[in-house]
Structure 1
Amino acid sequence: MVAQLHRAPSGERLRAIDGFLGTAYADLVEHDDRLRGTAVQARFDRGVAHLTGEVADRDELALVRRLVGRLDGVLAVWSTVRVAGREPVVMDLGCGAAKQYPGNLGLDLRMAPGVDAQADLSGPLPLAGDSVDVIFTVHILEHLIDFLTLVDECHRVLRPGGVLHVMSPWWGHVNAVADPTHVRLLDVQTFKHMCDRHPGAPRWYPLHTGCDGASVFADLTPLDADEPGPDPGHLARFFD
């Protein structure tokens, strides 16, 4: 029954959903006073919202992200939006030759075209704390036996308001088990437990999570020890 509920949509349906989402965002910009005049553009690709443009401050970006994430059919909200004229520092971990965006800084175990520096993702990242705005871990966590070590390192290096983007094969799809280098299986519920670990562990706030029947997605922002966590209504949007 679960596999049926999460059956991966066809390419034709995904294109139709992207068209709907583009129209829905244009409607938001035209009719929602909070977004009227925004300089943020949204492109949708297989349910992932790609935000570009510029905002005055982090609060404006958080508002745009939140409203886009509420659109039915959005799986994740990826952003390279400039804040107050500053380009975001975006890291692509384990990118190989396939960065998510050309301007990202690539970190990988092996040098390849597009890799800017070598690093073993199973250990400490060669990055200063509070130095990065966005981190992509696309098809990475499933390759790490202890991926929480990497997640904790992402928490350390992200600036306040920064975002960790995760994309991994969903455990119920053949892609999750077809690759023998996959050593972990992930579900949307995995992110619930990442956001509710033992006291003293780095804390995350789930901005958005989703599953398209083939992959799971999560947009997570770091919380300080004294910041309030998500309320039950917010968690109920994503988790059992």
Structure 2
Amino acid sequence: MGGEARQQLTDEYLAGAVGEILAHDERVRGLDVMAEVDGGVVHLRGRVDRPAQLDTVRRLAGRLAGVHAVWDRVRVAGRDPVALDLGCGEQRQYPTNIGVDRRRTPSVAAVADVSRPLPFRDASVDRVFAVHVLEHLIDFLPLVAECHRVLRPGGVLHVLSPWWKHVNAVADPTHVRLLDTQTIKGICSGPDRPAWFPLHVGRDESTVFADLTPAPPGDGPDERHMARFFD
């Protein structure tokens, strides 16, 4: 069986599994949330009354083997999430995302160089998508710190980059950094930079995925949680 056919079948299985969780798990049963799966990424949509309800759905879906990331367009307490799509180019991950790029395209709402401070207020957004962005920056830690700054408490940074062992990581001459899941471990904590709590980190044969949320000041994930994702 080819890789694409297997992934399609896996996505169908995972969509059914998440659907069963939403239908039968008493912690989330009755929520107006639906799920689709594409390439191992669970896409949630719908509406909930409280952030904790969405957090629970995200956590339960992320525990399934084969899930690489959990993204959402879920309306919380009557408010749609504000999402930045960094370096989006011609296409945003979701049509409602705010496209950010240094060149103007129909998908770009804010023209900005992501290697410089982002033109958004502190704690002003709910999601940041950095999809095929970090590998283009010699030093991506300032951008990661900017994502931490602009995210609201409970917000999520979604990272997607080529895995260093796959040819895609080196085939593009504009790639200047190589990433692994262990790179995400280094992003999560380090001296003199903001800490992140990993909600989900993984990879397939070509791509590294990470869902990260800002850790409270002076706090961070414990060793047991980190052991889920990192060596």
Structure-2-length-normalised TM-score: 0.97
Q: Distance in 1 between the 2:110 and 2:220 partners?
A: 34
Aligned residue in 2 for 1:204: 196
Provide the secondary structure at the position in 1 that maps to 2:35.
strand
Q: Distance in 1 between the 2:27 and 2:92 partners?
A: 32
Provide the secondary structure at the position in 1 that maps to 2:126.
strand
* Residue among 110, 120, 123 paired with 1:127: 120
Aligned residue in 2 for 1:184: 177
Q: Mapping of 1:3-82 within 5 angstroms?
A: 10-82=3-75
Question: Percent of pairs identical after alignment?
Answer: 59
Q: Mapping of 1:77-156 within 5 angstroms?
A: 77-156=70-149
Q: Letter of the aligned partner of 2:130 in structure 1?
A: T
Aligned residue in 1 for 2:206: 214
Q: Any unmatched runs of 5+ in structure 1?
A: 1-8
Q: Report deviation, 1:209.
A: 0.6
Aligned residue in 2 for 1:193: 186
Q: Report deviation, 1:30.
A: 2.6
Q: How well do the aligned residues superpose, as a CA RMSD in angstroms?
A: 1.0
* Residue among 163, 174, 190 paired with 1:170: 163
Q: Report deviation, 1:97.
A: 0.8
4+ aligned runs moved over 3 Å, structure 1: none
Q: Letter of the aligned partner of 1:203 in structure 2?
A: A
Q: Letter of the aligned partner of 2:18 in structure 1?
A: Y
Q: Letter of the aligned partner of 2:108 in structure 1?
A: V
- Conserved 8 A contact 2:161-2:179: yes
* 1:236 maps to 2:227: yes
Q: Report deviation, 1:195.
A: 0.9
Q: Any unmatched runs of 5+ in structure 2?
A: none
Q: Per chain length, whose mean CA-contact separation is higher, i.e. which structure has more relative contact order (CA < 8 Å, sep 6+)?
A: 1
Q: Deviations over 1:12-51 (max 9, x none)?
A: 1100110110111122123211111011111000100001
| Range moving further from structure 2, 209-218 or 22-31 | 22-31
- Conserved 8 A contact 2:19-2:34: no
Structure-1-length-normalised TM-score: 0.94
Q: Distance in 2 between the 1:131 and 1:80 partners?
A: 17
- Conserved 8 A contact 2:112-2:118: yes
Q: Distance in 2 between the 1:21 and 1:88 partners?
A: 24
| Range moving further from structure 2, 20-29 or 209-218 | 20-29
Q: Letter of the aligned partner of 2:215 in structure 1?
A: L
Q: Report deviation, 1:126.
A: 0.4
